[in-house]
């Protein structure tokens, strides 16, 4: 009998992925974790009934949420990831030769351990990189207390439900600002505007309390159903968002990173927002 994973993120929309083989399932201290195999998307990580990442389409999300801020910054030596337990974000950050130190603050140890065991293609050795530093705690508490400073902060969180909710507050964003170096950049997983529009409007206002330049960039991630995925962008250096294409190309060329989605031209174009998303920024 064919089994299906049915996503429960929305009361009026659900996607199903055929459950070909369950690799791991645990009610962790924080969330309900399932890793399973699907013929089309490969291995899939879900938390609390929501698709987090799949081997099939993770490259779009992880490449955009790392190479856009890191290439725009141009010399990010110290990077912070909040969340990111599957390791895909760390893998892409550590491809940048200028990065000297990466801290990943993840609340759920099981996500890290089980992703390393059952989804090794995501972290692809990042967890063993000498520059990598894992902290298991709540990301909101970490940015409120740390004395460390970072050039880029990547909020790779779940949706604003359960443990992820605190990572969408004005207080959290103010604490991220506190941890940023001069001209630093914060980017966030900010939901699918067509079905989670309030997340963009809320982040627009909440980030706006702490940063001079707040915007969004987009990319389509097939298993984040509903169209474009939005990524929050926040910095006090307004020039970074409009870095010249030739500069982006030169920097990315120098980094020598192979990608399947990100290009400097896609980077620049991703900040052009369709009218229905612009209408959420008010
Ligand atoms: N790509 C996914 C998305 O767009 O929803 C996110 C993937 S990543 C697995 C999300 C991670 O955020 C999970 O590992 C979860 O444990 C972590 N997380 C949730 N709330 C957190 C918190 N308050 N502090 C640190 N990590 C948190």
Q: Per-residue pLDDT tens for 172-208?
A: 999 999 999 999 999 999 999 999 999 999 999 999 9
Could you list the residue range(s) of the whole structural domain that residue 114 is in? 58-278
Residues 129 and 221 grouped into a single domain: yes
Q: For residue 132, report the phi and psi dihedrals to the nearest 5 degrees.
A: -85, 135
Token couple for 254: 């120098």
The atom number, within ligand 1, closest to the CA of 86 reads 9
Give the residue, out of 81, 107, 141, 203, with the most ligand 1 atoms within 8 A of its beta carbon, to mutate for a pocket test: 107
Residues 27 and 157 grouped into a single domain: no
The atom number, within ligand 1, closest to the CA of 163 reads 20
CATH code for the domain in which residue 20 is found: 2.30.140.10
Q: For residue 82, report the phi and psi dihedrals to the nearest 5 degrees.
A: -100, 120
In this structure, which long-range contacts are made by residues 12-19, counting pairs with CB atoms below 8 Å and at least 24 apart in sequence? Answer: 13/195, 13/225, 13/226, 15/51, 15/223, 15/225, 17/41, 17/44, 17/51, 17/223
Give the residue, out of 27, 51, 66, 163, with the most ligand 1 atoms within 8 A of its beta carbon, to mutate for a pocket test: 163
Question: Is 156 tagged catalytic?
Answer: yes
Instruction: Flag whether the pTM goes above 0.95.
Output: yes
Residues 131 and 240 grouped into a single domain: yes
Residues 83 and 31 grouped into a single domain: no
Pocket residues: Cβ below 6 A from ligand 1: 47, 52-53, 61, 82-86, 105-108, 111, 138-140, 156-159, 163-164, 166-167, 189
Residues 34 and 74 grouped into a single domain: no
Q: Quick one: what percent of the chain has pLDDT higher than 70?
A: 100
Total tally of structural domains belonging to the chain: 2
Token couple for 226: 């509903």
At 111-151, the pLDDT tens digits run: 999 999 999 999 999 999 999 999 999 999 999 999 999 99
Residue 48 region by backbone torsions, left for phi larger than 0, else alpha for psi between -120 and 50, else beta: left
CA-proximal residue: ligand 1, atom 18 (nearest): 83
Residues 79 and 193 grouped into a single domain: yes
Which residue among 48, 156, 159, 175 is the active-site one?
156
Query: From ligand 1's centre to the CA of 247, what distance in Å?
Result: 32
In sequence order, the 6+-apart residues with CB closer than 8 A to the CB of 69 are 76, 152, 154, 185, 187, 233
Residues 102 and 23 grouped into a single domain: no
Closest CA to 87 of 102, 100, 101, 72: 102
* Distances, alpha carbon 216 to alpha carbons 5, 32, 165, 182, 224, in Å: 31, 30, 19, 21, 17
Kindly indicate the confidence band of residue 1, based on its pLDDT and cuts at 50, 70 and 90.
confident
Residues 109 and 128 grouped into a single domain: yes
Closest CA to 3 of 27, 32, 38, 31: 38
Residues 108 and 178 grouped into a single domain: yes
Gap between the Cα atoms of 201 and 229, Å rounded: 14
Residues 104 and 219 grouped into a single domain: yes
Query: From ligand 1's centre to the CA of 276, what distance in Å?
Result: 27
Residues 43 and 142 grouped into a single domain: no
CA-proximal residue: ligand 1, atom 20 (nearest): 164
């Amino acid at each position: 009998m064919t089994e299906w994973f049915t996503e429960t993120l929305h009361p009026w929309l659900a996607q199903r992925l055929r459950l070909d083989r369950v690799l791991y399932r645990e009610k962790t201290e924080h969330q309900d974790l399932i890793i399973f195999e699907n013929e089309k998307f490969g291995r899939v990580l879900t938390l609390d009934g929501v698709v987090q990442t799949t081997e099939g389409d993770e490259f779009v999300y992880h490449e955009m949420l790392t190479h856009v801020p890191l290439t725009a910054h141009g010399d990010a030596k110290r990077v912070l990831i909040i969340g990111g337990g599957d390791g895909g974000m760390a893998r892409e950050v550590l491809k940048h030769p200028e990065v000297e130190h990466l801290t990943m603050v993840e609340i759920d140890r099981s996500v890290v351990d089980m992703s390393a065991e059952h989804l090794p293609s995501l972290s692809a050795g990042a967890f063993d990189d000498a520059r990598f530093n894992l902290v298991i705690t709540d990301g909101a508490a970490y940015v409120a207390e740390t004395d460390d400073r970072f050039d880029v902060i990547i909020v790779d969180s779940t949706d604003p439900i359960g443990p992820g909710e605190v990572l969408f507050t004005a207080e959290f964003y103010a604490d991220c600002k506190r941890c940023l170096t001069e001209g630093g950049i914060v980017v966030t997983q900010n939901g699918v505007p067509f079905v989670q529009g309030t997340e963009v409007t809320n982040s627009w206002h909440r980030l706006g309390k702490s940063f001079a330049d707040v915007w969004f960039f987009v990319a389509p991630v097939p298993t984040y159903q509903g169209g474009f995925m939005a990524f929050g962008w926040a910095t006090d250096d307004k020039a970074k968002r409009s870095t010249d294409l030739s500069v982006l190309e030169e920097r990315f060329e120098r980094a020598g990173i192979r990608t399947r989605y990100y290009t400097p031209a896609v980077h620049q174009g991703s900040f052009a927002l369709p009218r229905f998303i612009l209408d959420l920024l008010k």
